[in-house]
Amino acid sequence: MFRSKNKWSKLGVVIFLVGSVFFVSCKKELAHKDKVAAIIGKLESPFLMGTFVPENIIEKAGLEDGALPFVQQTIASFFMQEEKTGINNKAQVQLVIAKGEGSFPQAYAFVALKNAAKFKKLVETELSAEVQEKDGVFYFRKEADNYLVVWDAQMAIISNIPITLDNILSSSGISSKKAAIKIVGLMGEVGKGDIEPNYRAFMDKPGDVRMYLHGQNAYDMVKEIRFFPIKYKKQMALFLLGSTFETVLNFENGRIQLENDHLLSDSLTAYMEMFKEEGIDPEMLTFGYSANPAMALALNMDSDKFAKMMDITQWESYSHEVAKSLNDKGISKEDIAAFSTGKTLFILDEVEKVKQEDNINDLQDLNARYGMVVEIKDTVVARLVMQKVLTDSLLSSREEMFATIQNKYLILSNSRAWIEKIEANNAVSIAALKTQLTINPIGFYMNNNLLGDMSTDEDFNKTVKVVQDVVFEFNKSKSSLSIKMKDADKNSLRVIVEKLIEEMMLTELNSNSDIQTIIEQEMLEDISEEAIETVINALLK
């Protein structure tokens, strides 16, 4: 019994010690976040915030695990080591943009420090900075690069030097010193005021990268920009006043996932009222030409509210090409409201490049096969609209359009074969896209075949080939963007980094003979410090 009791006593001590360490660590992290939130509360109209943890981004990007070539990793690894930089890579970094002096915003990056002495040594040796001190807080300014850094024992703040007409005309450095002293003052005021609650709560939310936009504060900055036309400011007011947007971006194996929660302004809410709560009917997916289209867009709108919205946006002078084409054919907004329920599916089945005839520059046109499925209210009105549409192309006078009515659906296409397929009951279902297109009032899908074929830039085409498909969904309170990568085993951020590095290296090798010579002469594993220095100098040319 005694031995058992002793064992549990020891276990209790261990649990207590571990818990104490965890509590102290959390308390230190919370202290940093509280300090940041207190400073944000003293800024003028902070409107945009982003957060991320450096260690997490470094790990997912593979920056210390082979994603970078040897030379780049050798250089970058120095700045990623806490023991050399003094920066706490495990702590969250906060990026904040607020209203600045004049017509330009002021940006701040809040970085937690692990060792302020090592950070000071870093800026003095690597940046050749002239460090100054005020009230126990250090700072330095880089006028040529338009930034300054202020730090104490716990945190560093990196900010741009305010951009004003006086600053541009003056080269005295007085403005940059004034800006640095202002931040020193903010750091000294921590604990004497309230913590900004919304931004403080936002810092605790999970995600690889999070962003928060405060519409009212953003408009406070926009209205002060002198070179923005009054008309533009009024449009921004309708969009921003009363709106907030929270976005989280996660890099997963084989996928990039972006989720957005939005509280819309009254004007945007009124506009969104023309969209219904749910998506289109699954039956509309049965009228495809092939099972894997290049792109599909599903919309579910209230046709009556859509017609009213056209009054607001001046239908007769509406600039959209399709709307203008319909108007030219005598199809009014009332016709649209009368024949359609508002459920519409656009399908771009295939896009192929076709060489232009007699083209000495070897350029290519894009040849597309597309169609549209519309749920109709009234078959008689639908046939009338269809007849008006088919007197000329919906989109171009060079194309023929074909149509058929099947049950309660009107199907239009520029492909006779597609319509004939439907009328022969041989249409192909695209039901694999049911989840993406039928849940929300706006659903969008695009595969990499379209991404790769829409551009004549071969370098761009090679880059996007790492993408499998793209899905976007939107409703009145949320939206999401999902990018699926072809390589499902690697983290998506690493895939992006490796592809970018590959393209950058090819560009450098093709344009810089110094780097090419070094790589040909030395094995990367045994590359000398002199060679690394030569490469760096070549890159900086």
The pLDDT of residue 21 is: 37
| Residue 327 reports pLDDT greater than 50 | yes
The answer to whether 297 touches 346, Cβ cutoff 8 Å, is: yes
The pLDDT of residue 370 is: 93
Strands 478-485 and 255-263: antiparallel
Average pLDDT on 355-369 reads 62
Lowest mean pLDDT among 170-179, 295-304, 379-388, 499-508: 170-179
Distance, in Å, from the CA atom of 347 to the CA atom of 350, rounded to the nearest integer, reads 9
Distance, in Å, from the CA atom of 526 to the CA atom of 406, rounded to the nearest integer, reads 70
User: For the chain, which residues make up each domain, given as ranges?
Assistant: 31-53+91-204, 276-475
pLDDT digits (tens, 9 = 90+) for 200-251: 999 999 999 999 999 999 999 888 887 788 888 888 888 899 999 999 999 9
The pLDDT of residue 343 is: 94
The answer to whether 182 touches 43, Cβ cutoff 8 Å, is: no
Of 107-116, 355-364, 378-387, give the range with the top mean pLDDT.
107-116
The pLDDT of residue 344 is: 94
Q: Give the percent of the chain with pLDDT over 90.
A: 43
Decide which of 352 and 139 is more confident: 139
| Residue 11 reports pLDDT greater than 50 | no
pLDDT digits (tens, 9 = 90+) for 170-189: 555 567 888 899 999 999 88
pLDDT digits (tens, 9 = 90+) for 492-518: 999 999 888 887 777 766 666 565 565
Distance, in Å, from the CA atom of 259 to the CA atom of 270, rounded to the nearest integer, reads 23
Helix 492-511 vs helix 513-521: angle between axes, to the nearest 10 degrees?
100
The pLDDT of residue 47 is: 94
Decide which of 116 and 457 is more confident: 116
Q: Which stretches does DSSP call E strand in 5-83?
A: 46-52
Average pLDDT on 15-23 reads 39
The pLDDT of residue 326 is: 63
The pLDDT of residue 286 is: 96
| Residue 94 reports pLDDT greater than 90 | yes
Lowest mean pLDDT among 257-266, 397-406, 411-420, 436-445: 397-406
Decide which of 177 and 464 is more confident: 177
Residue range 31-53+91-204, CATH number: 3.40.1000
C-alpha 393: how far from its chain's center?
36
Q: Which stretches does DSSP call E strand in 215-311?
A: 244-252, 255-263, 295-300
- Which letter does DSSP use for residue 154 in this model? S
Amino acid at 14: V
The pLDDT of residue 28 is: 46
Closest by alpha carbon to 106, among 39, 28, 48?
48
